[in-house]
Amino acid sequence: MGDRQRPTIKTVAARAGVGRTTVSRVINGSELVSEKARAAVLAAIAELNYVPNSVARGLVTRRTNSVALVIPESESRLGSEPYFSAVIRGVSAALAETRTQLQLMLVRDQAERDQLTESVAERRVDGVLLVSVHEHDPLPGLLEDMGLPTVLAGRRSPDESLSHVHSDNAGGAAAAVNHLLARGRRTVATISGPLDMDVARSRLQGWREALEKAGHDATDRLVASGDFTEEGGKAAMRSLLEQVPELDAVFVASDVMAAGALAELRRQERGVPDDVAVVGFDDSIIARHTNPPLSTVRQPVEEIGSMIAHILLEEIGSPEEPRRRVTLPTELVVRESS
């Protein structure tokens, strides 16, 4: 067979008369295969001179039954942002069904990035789950170049090449804006997240498109950039009130920042929702304990965690399968802040 027709798992499966999953299990040394099927697959591999790719070969001989959940953020951000704990719960629940161990790794500087690279090079983990993805973070490309199965919670851009799961961020933001407009608000500002993240750019895009479609102003003076922290929300709200004192509504790209925005509105004696209506994003536990309780866009964060874990396990077991791109729906939750 010529180089242009190199055998694949699909070819081996057809020759052995089994499914591709069975071939992957044989390659990866799984015990969940009958001796008859194993013999047929091994015979087909020998007959076709099939050579698994480098990842599959590594998994045959050096499978660790562990994956890394990598969060390139500080401990303070990890502890204060409910999003991360919800993702971890979802990942843990999915892996509890297997014998796969979970390693949590924070990557905050070059030294910790080098440590992760060393772990990958020595195949101390079978795959990586990457959360909180920034556009120019070298980690996703580095992991991809090293051939390690990697799945993202979020994406670097709409052209993301790695498997990923994210929420309908633009659609959720648009739903928030449409709700505010339906309540009679005329000047709807926004506090975005860091614009080097697709999640922040998508929510900003949803805000802008909803306003423009309704014939309302969506200029940059109505936008203040935050950093997904409470203090960032306070500072951004302060900036908006200085730039646009007449604003009567604000869509905030996270509940944590929205809590900061509410605190700044109280400090400046702006009533919520009478003077300024506020809608956040996430529907984290914070949203139910603000004063007043926060209207917000619910995203299925635990489901994101569970799904990225399942996809990663599939990619570890069948590295030649196509990569997956999943968008989960969001839902507007209306409370007293709007």
* Per-residue confidence (pLDDT) for residue 28, from 0 to 100: 59
Tell me if 160 sits within 8 A of 197, measured CB to CB.
no
* Per-residue confidence (pLDDT) for residue 80, from 0 to 100: 77
User: What's the gap between Cα 222 and its chain centre?
Assistant: 27
Q: Kindly provide the b/e burial profile for residues 147-185, where b requires at least 16 CB atoms within 10 angstroms of the residue's own CB.
A: ebbbbbbbbbeeebebbbbbbbbbbbbbbbbbbbbeeeb
Domain ranges of the chain: 9-61, 66-166+302-327, 169-298
* Per-residue confidence (pLDDT) for residue 300, from 0 to 100: 97
CA distances to 51, 121, 255, 289 from 286, rounded to whole Å, are 52, 40, 7, 5
Backbone angles phi, psi at 104, to 5 degrees: -95, 125
Where does the chain show beta strands of DSSP type E?
A: 66-71, 101-106, 127-131, 150-153, 163-167, 188-192, 223-225, 249-252, 277-282, 295-298, 325-328, 331-333
Of the candidate CATH numbers 3.40.50.620, 3.40.50.170, 3.40.50.970, 3.40.50.2300, the domain formed by 169-298 belongs to 3.40.50.2300
Look-up: residue for tokens 């874990």? 309
CA–CA separation, 254 vs 287, rounded Å?
10
* Per-residue confidence (pLDDT) for residue 274, from 0 to 100: 97
66-166+302-327 in CATH: which number? 3.40.50.2300
* Per-residue confidence (pLDDT) for residue 81, from 0 to 100: 83
* Per-residue confidence (pLDDT) for residue 57, from 0 to 100: 47
* Per-residue confidence (pLDDT) for residue 189, from 0 to 100: 98
* Per-residue confidence (pLDDT) for residue 143, from 0 to 100: 84
- 9-61 and 66-166+302-327 share one CATH topology? no
* Per-residue confidence (pLDDT) for residue 2, from 0 to 100: 41
9-61 in CATH: which number? 1.10.260.40
Tens-binned pLDDT, residue by residue, of the chain (338 aa): 344 467 877 888 899 999 877 876 777 566 677 888 888 888 888 888 776 554 444 444 467 789 999 988 777 777 778 999 999 999 999 999 888 999 988 887 777 777 777 776 667 889 999 998 888 888 888 888 778 899 999 999 999 999 999 999 999 999 999 999 999 999 999 999 999 999 999 999 999 999 999 999 899 999 999 999 999 999 999 999 999 999 999 999 999 999 999 999 999 999 999 999 999 999 999 999 999 999 999 999 999 999 999 999 999 988 888 999 999 999 999 999 99
Token readout for 53 is 């790719």
